[in-house]
Structure 1
């Protein structure tokens, strides 16, 4: 199936996703399609709700760490713990193309539990920029966009951006 990335202000992006009950060929194919679409669009992360699939699936590209491209699929990811705030930085999103805004409430270190493609439970410690990417993608599963997390001044900039791009 051919998927496309939903863009703001599509209301589907604000819906909460349901847990994946069974890892089958359909889920594997969705993740494969998500990976292809993310790479085609030069993304470093993508969540299933961004392609109108209300399942708790995310993918992240370890290229975010400056290394080679390696896709990590996380099924039903949960942040178990977190530490220290990350410095404020510009964040962007394939669902909000062309806009970058300062987000200041991301955590530097997180511990994440998820299922891998084989259905095995994984727990990993993630830090720095990859931590930000994972938090951003998990937000999508909960109907939260990064523009919901920007401060007042950035929201004014975003409104101006939207007006100029119409």
Structure 2
């Protein structure tokens, strides 16, 4: 049997890391997701993609796994309903293109706003809302995992994905774009997420203390 690909816990609404502005990074950086061993940037990107697939998402930003760096992953899926009708096709088999973007700089190239798509977030599970205004077309200039400068233009749904993930790097969530009364409709669920986020952080802190104690004992 093959070993399942590792995945990261996704940080929930209420976790402070989701509200911090992320810092730039280099493609040669080594990163450490809390609770995991240090990894190369490529290993982090691969694990972020696996985490995103496991959660059945279309994008995932580094702050959502506890890393305050300017990086996100995203994918385009084959959504041909006729081809997939009656089939339970694995999500990864439907990937048309993967994106790993370091230090993305997003430029709006069509200012007309679209509010028609339903939007959600892996850090705010089970809450979906229409009405989030997103530019219809954007250009993203970024660095890839080889350190090469890249540019991609996107329209409609993919443009929305890039804007959503780029927001995460500035500490913004899709709920911030909605009227307060709409957000208030989800108050109970959001409070529950905040409580769970605190529990998750307490568990990570406990694991870190235990790891430090074990390391100290090894040196004695």
Q: What TM-score comes out, normalization by structure 2 length?
A: 0.69
Given that 1:102 and 1:151 are in contact with CA atoms closer than 8 Å, whether structure 2 keeps it comes out as: no
Among 148, 163, 169, the residue aligned to 1:141: 169
Runs of 4+ in 1 over 4 A off after TM superposition: 163-166
The alpha-carbon distance between structure 1 residues 158 and 123, as it changes in their structure 2 partners (threshold 3 A), is same
Given that 2:27 and 2:144 are in contact with CA atoms closer than 8 Å, whether structure 1 keeps it comes out as: no
The alpha-carbon distance between structure 1 residues 12 and 74, as it changes in their structure 2 partners (threshold 3 A), is same
User: In structure 1, what is the equivalent of residue 20 of structure 2?
Assistant: 15
Residue 117 of structure 2 is aligned to residue 104 of structure 1: no
Q: Select between 8-17 and 96-105 the one with higher mean Cα deviation.
A: 96-105
The CA distance in 2 between the partners of 1:111 and 1:32, in whole Å, is: 24
Aligned with 1:23: secondary structure?
coil
Unaligned runs of 5+ in 1: none
User: In structure 1, what is the equivalent of residue 72 of structure 2?
Assistant: 58
The CA distance in 1 between the partners of 2:108 and 2:28, in whole Å, is: 25
- CA shift, 1:88, in A, is 3.1
Given that 1:103 and 1:146 are in contact with CA atoms closer than 8 Å, whether structure 2 keeps it comes out as: no
Unaligned runs of 5+ in 2: 1-5, 31-39, 81-93, 196-220
Among 54, 78, 84, the residue aligned to 2:105: 78
Residue 147 of structure 2 is aligned to residue 119 of structure 1: yes
Given that 1:103 and 1:151 are in contact with CA atoms closer than 8 Å, whether structure 2 keeps it comes out as: no
The CA distance in 2 between the partners of 1:135 and 1:73, in whole Å, is: 14
What root-mean-square deviation, in Å, do the aligned CA atoms of Structure 1 and Structure 2 show?
Answer: 2.1
- CA shift, 1:98, in A, is 0.7
Aligned with 1:18: secondary structure?
coil
The alpha-carbon distance between structure 1 residues 164 and 5, as it changes in their structure 2 partners (threshold 3 A), is closer
Q: Which has the larger radius of gyration?
A: 2
The CA distance in 1 between the partners of 2:171 and 2:128, in whole Å, is: 19
- The count of aligned residue pairs is 165
Among 19, 23, 43, the residue aligned to 1:29: 43
